[in-house]
Chain A
Amino acid sequence: MDDTRRSFLKIAGLSMLGFGAKPVVDAVAGTGDPKFEKDSKAFNGKRWAMVVDQQKCLKAKEGCKDCVTACNSAHNIPEFNNPKDEIKWIWQTSFEHAFPGQENPYLDEYIKKSLKGLPFMVLCNHCDNPPCVRVCPVQATFRRPDGIVVMDYHRCIGCRFCMAACPYGARNLNWRDPRPFIKKENPEYPTRTRGVVEKCNFCSELLAVGKMPACVDACKDKALVFGDLEDPNSEVRELLRSRPTIQRKPQLGTRPQIYYIL
């Protein structure tokens, strides 16, 4: 055999090159690796927001709770009939609770009285500067690039920091197993379990398949308007341009994205 050290090194070098080339070839050849994609029907908003036209809402039929019912059944929200355990994503509250500190002390008594107790629809404000996201120690709550503040229930440890941080009371803890208290389960959407916090998700699961949020869809008076703030031709932009609106507790700097037309 005339194998020299030289030829041995040649062969060894070539075979090492072969090992090194494998990942490169794999990457270029584009083997059938699985991919993750968005639904082609999905709405691709850049900054989702909602305008609540309270004038329309107040003119609606007495005791209308269409949006609340639609939300509850879409998201398997339990009804405990006990305010301590209550879970709510969108709910009705009175003016003085929704907008504390917004009236000046010289306001006419008559107007003051008429405002007091006026029902307002409130929900998670999907803040631009969400305090709940800042305090969450496990990043279970996070802000998506399209502005929706969502929860990853898989991660939530139930510490309730977010509930303490949220100035709008938009978050609730499941103190008890919610399942027995769900009137009719929606088989398309999961429930939650005991010990996780939950809140409105702007129906991100519906937006992902090209549907409007359940509450917006359910409102027959068209009082809830949902749309993309970055789209200058959207309905929300038109309303915000042409009508004076207020937000809840803007002084806190959370930059809430639910606007109210009074």
Chain B
Amino acid sequence: MYNAGKIIIGIVIFLALITAPFWYNLGRPSAPPKLEIGTQEKQCVESKAFMQAKHMVLLDQWRDEVVRDGKRIYVNSTGKQFNMSLQNTCTKCHSSKTKFCDRCHTYLNVAPNCWDCHIAPKEQEKLAGRSDK
């Protein structure tokens, strides 16, 4: 190999640069956001683990059932009934979008567009802003 020394040094510098963010963040894990559920209610529509992992799947299912099939009542795995509505059911308990939805979504850098149309609950502080602003 011609210029082996230069090439190897180059590769090493390249690898160092490209992995720099990982080294930079190594050893200081960023704390996951603390969510304020904002309700006294003990039980969500489904179990906490399910909601954490799959609330987006559930909401998509709700959307399709309500809009396309006209079914508006959700019977959960324990037989309890809920009105399938982000605006009229979810936010009745999770009354703070900024302290619940947004904190986690910001942390994970996801930007769901639910709130472009669905009206976020009114919050006490004037912090509440729309995601599209």
Contacts and interface: CB of A to CB of B under 8 A. Distances in A.
B117 A192 contact: yes
A193 interface: yes
Given A34-B77, A188-B88, A177 B132 contact: yes
B17 interface: no
Q: Is the interface of A mostly helix, strand, loop or mixed?
A: loop
Given A39-B72, A154-B67, A190 B118 contact: yes
B73 A36 contact: yes
A37 B119 contact: no
B77 A191 contact: no
Given A32-B79, A36-B75, A190 B119 contact: yes
A177 B75 CA distance: 35
Q: Is the interface of B mostly helix, strand, loop or mixed?
A: loop
Nearest to A35: B75
A153 interface: yes
Interface string A146-181: 100010111000000000000000000000010100
A34 B75 CA distance: 5
Given A32-B78, A187-B87, A208 B119 contact: no
Given A36-B65, A193-B116, A208 B78 contact: no
Nearest to A40: B73
Interface in A107-151: 142, 144, 146, 150
Given A187-B87, A187-B119, A37 B70 contact: no
A142 B130 CA distance: 30
Interface string B106-119: 00000001001111
B105 interface: no
B87 A38 contact: no
Interface of B: 46, 63, 65, 67-79, 81, 83-84, 87-88, 113, 116-119, 122, 130, 132
9 contacts: A32-B77, A34-B46, A35-B74, A36-B74, A142-B68, A146-B70, A150-B67, A177-B132, A209-B72
